[in-house]
Amino acid sequence: MGKFVIRKTATGFKFDLKAGNGEVIATSEVYSSLDSCRKGVASVQKHAAVAEVEDQTVPDFPTLTHPKFEVYTDKAGEFRFRLKANNGQIIAVSEGYTAKDSCLNGVASVKKNAPDAQVVEE
């Protein structure tokens, strides 16, 4: 089972969603307060299971409504995803993947792990 790990940074707080094997599958922005970070975790838990995937790597992709996972290619040519909440705010992002299938597996892992993941504060 996955878990959210909240940690203090030099400028605030951020979280990582880790899969059962300990791998980081998504991370957050830096929040100014611990309470805001906790709310970010709750938002990912709420939206991950219901969000559809908008594949922006294909021509003429259909634009989906929020919440959604956006799969895209970054400047380095790697595949990434970002989870957007109902209001369009980015609430979690992935690392870069060399293969699109690996990126889609990351999305599936967030959908599976996030809703029931325990929250740990370090």
pTM of the model: 0.94
Spacing of C-alpha 77 from chain mean position? 19
Q: What is the pLDDT of residues 20-72, one digit of tens each?
A: 999 999 999 999 999 999 999 999 999 999 999 999 999 999 999 999 999 99
pLDDT value of residue 6: 98
Q: Can you list the alpha helix ranges (DSSP code H) found in the chain? A: 34-48, 100-113
| Type of residue at 61 | F
Angle at CA of residue 82, ends 111 and 117, nearest 5°:
35
In the structure, what pLDDT confidence band is assigned to residue 1 with cuts at 50, 70 and 90?
A: confident
Q: What is the pLDDT of residues 68-87, one digit of tens each?
A: 999 999 999 999 999 999 99
Asked if residue 48 lies in contact with residue 66, where contact means CB atoms within 8 angstroms, the answer is no
Q: Which fold has domain 3-121?
A: PH-domain like (2.30.29)
Buried b (16+ CB within 10 A) or exposed e, 7-44: eeeeeebbbbbbbeeeeebbebbebeeeeebbebbebb
| Cβ neighbours of 48 (radius 10 Å) | 24
Going from N- to C-terminal start, the domains of the chain cover 3-121
